[in-house]
A and B are shown apart, each in its own frame.
Chain A
Amino acid sequence: MEASLEISPGRVYEVLEGVKDPEIDSISIMDLGMVVEVTTVGNNVKVVLLPTFLGCPALEIIKKNTINAVKELPEVKDVQVEFVFHPPWTSDRITERGHVNLRKFGIAPPPRQIEADGSWHIECAYCGSTYVTMENVFGPTACRSILYCKSCKNVFEAMKPVSTLM
């Protein structure tokens, strides 16, 4: 029967766990909270993603990698990847596992909470201290900032806090 050849969104989500951020290869697009929707019709798959930062050059690579990864599934015929802006991606979309995987890479996860006045707290990627200052909000890539820990005196990177409150 044809039905047995159809693809379920669940299978696609599993595959997307393996699509990594090209700039931080310990974290997947699922961990980052970039995947908003997976729909399947027969053997065709559509993946809807949220761009993290609009000018991020990694987005095109992510799109390509997503298509290639989903195509690996034998039942899949056509893969479409679309970027949408609604809902807007915010740093609180990064999952609990995403936080763990960021720390593995030596990057401090974004703050859990951003106050109404835009202020926030980040823990040092090395010692966990919150006695830190922002050195340069603009880090090596659009999504990262550079901070300094006054406790262990290390410079470290953190995911830039992004919120609609800003």
Chain B
Amino acid sequence: MNENETVMSQEYKEAITSLLFQLADDDFLYAYRGSEWLGLAPHIEEDVASSSISQDSMGHAAMFYKLLEDLGVGNADDLAHSRPALDRKNSVLMERVNGEGYYMETPLYDWAYQVVRSYFYTQAKKIKIDSLCESSYSPLADTAVKVRMELYYHRLHWETWFKQLLSSTDVAKKKMDEAIKKVMDDFGDVFSYGNEKLLIEKSRLISSEESLRDKWNASIEPVFAALQMEVPKISDKPTKNGRNGEHTQDLVEALHTLSEVYKFDPIATW
């Protein structure tokens, strides 16, 4: 890694840093929202599966923060826990609450939303990770190869739920349709690199936004076709772009909860 650092141009380093924050913050918030389902998933097997997926995803976030640490950006745990909402680069979709109410009080979480968000995000992550396996930055490519194997099971899991709920009762289908709409309202920044688009794309770290978006569409098209549905369109003008630090109050509150635990014991192993 040291040899990389010496030959790395300032511009290239900026591009990697920016991309790594996007990847790390996405998984960090996704894992956090997933972990809020602990004990609330529809059945015990799902509880085990959900927490396993959250744990894996937190592990992926930790790897991306570690790559930032290796670049001298800061301590990985601090990067994960101590950055304010304004500095966060996650997609807005990842920060959204699971539904009404608080985990510690009376949560009225929406399982359909969790299934759709997880399936669409995991599919998007797979498309990105496939591209990152060929990244010009080899530490990132090595990490991607590892993430890819674990992601295989996550994707299968959420795809199964997605298909089953949409082929189930009218109530389930209605809830799923509403969830799809809600998720797609926030999907515009998932494949966005924000203001760093040019910098990231010309560094050959990952494919272009457009190419990833097309691949995502093509990859879920067969699932939608089998359900006799159309793949929802990804907006190219997100109302809020998390990659540029535009976020909602949901993120502010999530970070508050997360950092409370962290400040309580900053040297604990995560």
Residues of chain A whose beta carbon lies under 8 Å from any beta carbon of chain B: 51, 53-57, 60, 84-86, 88-90, 118, 135-140, 142, 146, 160, 162-164, 166
Tell me if A53 and B269 are in contact (CB < 8 A). Answer: no
List residues of chain B with CB within 8 A of the CB of A118.
Answer: 152
List residues of chain A with CB within 8 A of the CB of B63.
Answer: 54
Tell me the minimal C-beta distance from B14 to chain A in angstroms: 24
Partner of B157, one of A51, A84, A89, A138: A138
Tell me if A55 and B55 are in contact (CB < 8 A). Answer: yes
Tell me if A142 and B55 are in contact (CB < 8 A). Answer: yes
Tell me if B49 and A88 are in contact (CB < 8 A). Answer: no
Enumerate 26 A-B pairs (CB-CB under 8 Å) in ascending A order: A51-B146, A54-B56, A54-B146, A54-B150, A57-B55, A57-B269, A60-B269, A85-B142, A85-B146, A86-B145, A88-B142, A88-B146, A88-B149, A137-B157, A138-B48, A138-B49, A138-B153, A139-B48, A139-B52, A142-B55, A142-B56, A162-B149, A162-B150, A163-B149, A164-B145, A164-B149
Closest residue to A89 on the B side, CB-wise? B146
The prevalent SS among residues of B at the interface is helix
- Looking at B55, B58, B63, B143, the one whose CB has the most chain A CB atoms below 10 A away is B55
- Bound together, the chains give a CA A54 to CA B63 distance in angstroms of 8
- Bound together, the chains give a CA A85 to CA B150 distance in angstroms of 13
| B172 interface residue per 8 A CB criterion | no
- Bound together, the chains give a CA A148 to CA B63 distance in angstroms of 34
- Residues A53 and B56 in contact in the complex (CB < 8 Å), given A85-B143, A86-B142: yes
Closest residue to B56 on the A side, CB-wise? A55
List residues of chain A with CB within 8 A of the CB of B176.
Answer: none
Tell me the minimal C-beta distance from B60 to chain A in angstroms: 6
Tell me the minimal C-beta distance from A66 to chain B in angstroms: 15
Encoded as 1 (CB less than 8 Å from any A CB) or 0, chain B from 136 to 155 comes to 00000011011111101100
Tell me the minimal C-beta distance from B47 to chain A in angstroms: 10
Tell me if A55 and B143 are in contact (CB < 8 A). Answer: no
- Residues A137 and B49 in contact in the complex (CB < 8 Å), given A53-B59, A55-B60: yes
Tell me if A55 and B57 are in contact (CB < 8 A). Answer: yes
- Bound together, the chains give a CA A135 to CA B49 distance in angstroms of 11
- Bound together, the chains give a CA A98 to CA B142 distance in angstroms of 26
- Bound together, the chains give a CA A60 to CA B270 distance in angstroms of 10
Tell me the minimal C-beta distance from A125 to chain B in angstroms: 18
Tell me if B149 and A166 are in contact (CB < 8 A). Answer: yes
List residues of chain A with CB within 8 A of the CB of B59.
Answer: 53-56, 142
- Bound together, the chains give a CA A54 to CA B153 distance in angstroms of 14
Tell me if A53 and B49 are in contact (CB < 8 A). Answer: no
- Bound together, the chains give a CA A163 to CA B145 distance in angstroms of 10
Query: For chain B residues 232-270, which have a beta carbon within 8 Å of chain A?
Result: 269
| B156 interface residue per 8 A CB criterion | yes
List residues of chain B with CB within 8 A of the CB of A53.
Answer: 56, 59, 150
| B45 interface residue per 8 A CB criterion | yes
List residues of chain B with CB within 8 A of the CB of A160.
Answer: 153
| B80 interface residue per 8 A CB criterion | no
| B53 interface residue per 8 A CB criterion | yes
| B62 interface residue per 8 A CB criterion | yes
